[in-house]
Amino acid sequence: MANDIKKVVLAYSGGLDTSIILKWLKETYDCEVVTFTADLGQGEELEPARKKAEMFGIKDIYIEDLREEFVRDFVFPMFRANAMYEGLYLLGTSIARPLIAKRLVEIAHETGADAISHGATGKGNDQVRFELTANALDPSIKVIAPWREWDLRSRTRLLEYAEANQIPIAKDKRGEAPFSVDANLLHTSSEGRVLEDPAVEAPDYVYQRTTDPEKAPDTPEYVKIGFEKGDAISVNGEKLSPASLLEKLNALGGRHGVGRLDLVENRFVGMKSRGVYETPGGTILLEAHRGIEQITLDAGAGHLKDSIMPRYAELIYNGFWFSPEREALQALIDKTQEHVTGTVKLKLYKGVARTVARWSDHSLYSEKHVTFEEDAGAYDQKDAAGFIRLNALRLKLIATRNARVAGKG
């Protein structure tokens, strides 16, 4: 194929699909390939990816531990917004893609590459997320999406190509995979195959990160999470780095079956898809963050933040992390977090993480104002009468008008 592409940076997992892509890129574009493998806490050994890349004759191999950056600069800002797509999904896959794409572009600059490449299919959201990020960071970068170009449209064709080109095939790849899995430190996502019929309950073996809530410990466990300016900084009094903190919460939540979600969502490309998600630490973190906001965030600021949350979550889901509108919303959200500092105590039990106590030196909660006992003049209940009369005025005028018009009819 005639082209002006001499070097490509490939997002490389070392699995069958990206190994085939690596060979296909060299064969189709007659170019040098640089591989990039990101450790986002997916829980897999990454050195095999290096060995596979070496086997293909790759000289520039990037394997990077991005766990701290992932949680600190992507997950935590998102959780300051309490972001949930379509009211349920904690955006575990969505929030990882802009970081991977950012590094692909940076490595392209470092190595003098002409293009980047990814293994996302033409049906999903990830192709959009990777490519919107790339375009936002470098409008001149070329993106190669093999699934939109090649004729390897089935698992059988992929295996045939692998065998013809002596690409090692893991034994479990020779049969039909029961489902597709994407994992990082925030969540595990399972899709496809046995999950494609939303009328059928997901089999137990799909869940990999959480205990079945019915089989979780019969004794509840309590955990205290400390916050500073909207970000979690400690678990049970122990200060932890962002990635270590999320890892700790994952272990706690996973043990108690917290964070399972079976969702049929609306993909950005237009179709509906069914996914099974496990987000144990993130579910605890969201509950805790809302708990500390309850006593530290003013009603006006809190309600405004809640009103923009769906738009903010949709921007992340659709791949617009590096857009001016997401950054503008982030500035507003971060402003609301200036006093979101304190501690939340949660109870973990049988799949549920529930706030049971919260306290802060920045609290707006005033017991003397809300007490049912004598408040020593902190609040004059007679003031409520005028407050109600003013708020009722327009309702009374509307009701009077409606009665007058109805009487004429």
Instruction: Output phi, psi for 334, to 5 deg.
Output: -65, -35
Which residues fall within 8 angstroms of residue 165, CB to CB, at 6 or more apart?
A: 20, 23
323 tagged catalytic: no
| Structural contact between residues 293 and 302, judged by C-beta atoms closer than 8 angstroms | yes
129 tagged catalytic: no
What is the distance between the alpha carbons of residues 252 and 348, in angstroms, rounded to a whole number?
Answer: 8
Q: Check 94, 103, 114, 126 and give the catalytic one.
A: 126
What SS3 string covers the chain? CCCCCCEEEEECCCCHHHHHHHHHHHHHHCCEEEEEEEECCCCCCCHHHHHHHHHCCCCCEEEEECHHHHHHHHHHHHHHCCCCECCCECCCCCCCHHHHHHHHHHHHHHHCCCEEECCCCCCCCHHHHHHHHHHHHCCCCEEECHHHCCCCCCHHHHHHHHHHCCCCCCHHHCCCCCCEEEECCCCEEEECHHHCCCCCCCCHHHCCCCCCHHHCCCCCEEEEEEEECCEEEEECCEECCHHHHHHHHHHHHHHCCCCEEEEEEECCCCCEEEEEEECHHHHHHHHHHHHHHHHHCCHHHHHHHHHHHHHHHHHHHHCCCCCHHHHHHHHHHHHHCCCCCEEEEEEEECCEEEEEEEECCCCCCCHHHHCCCCCCCCCCCCHHHHHHHHHHHHHHHHHHHHHHHHHHC
Q: Check 17, 39, 114, 231 and give the catalytic one.
A: 17
306 tagged catalytic: no
Q: Check 67, 80, 97, 358 and give the catalytic one.
A: 97
97 tagged catalytic: yes
Q: Check 50, 138, 180, 234 and give the catalytic one.
A: 180
β partners of residue 181: 190
| Structural contact between residues 195 and 248, judged by C-beta atoms closer than 8 angstroms | no
| Structural contact between residues 170 and 14, judged by C-beta atoms closer than 8 angstroms | no
Catalytically active residues are 17, 97, 126, 180
